[in-house]
Amino acid sequence: VFSSKDVVKILHNQNFRLIDSRSADRYRGENETIDPVSGHIPDALSVPFAGNLGADGCFLSQKDLKTRFQQVLGDIPPERAVFYCGSGVTAAHNLLALKHAGLGDARLYAGSWSEWITNPDHPIRKGSE
């Protein structure tokens, strides 16, 4: 499990992937219905957890999940991927999907966005940057 201090250490480090598991509109800061501050952590990629599911509400096939996460990770090994969301719950969904895809284990920033925004020194981005 990653802490906010750990996340600060990997910001702007191209050897890690920071992945936001919330919906794309929350990532962009357009529809924040839970937290008092909208946006995302700088350099985080938007990979909404709902993209792991098919129309039937079940996980996509192992092959499709593997393709999805390999596109996001590129040449970064899963153990250097850190997932977050609003409070850690939907990030865990992405972690499970990654494991189900056969790609191994990644890390969870459990405090997630709700914790990140409590420190005024933490940078915030809006939009799709």
Taking only the tens place, the pLDDT of each residue in 74-108 is 999 999 999 999 998 999 999 999 999 999 999 99
What amino acid positions are annotated as catalytic residues?
85
Q: Flag whether pLDDT at 129 surpasses 70.
A: no
Lowest mean pLDDT among 31-35, 50-54, 66-70, 103-107: 31-35
Angle of helix 89-100 relative to helix 62-73, nearest 10 degrees?
110
pLDDT band at 1 (very low <50, low <70, confident <90, very high): confident
Q: Flag whether pLDDT at 33 surpasses 90.
A: no
Q: Flag whether pLDDT at 31 surpasses 80.
A: yes
pLDDT of 16:
98
CA–CA separation, 70 vs 12, rounded Å? 20
Q: What is the mean pLDDT of residues 102-127?
A: 96
Token pair of 109, please? 């920033």
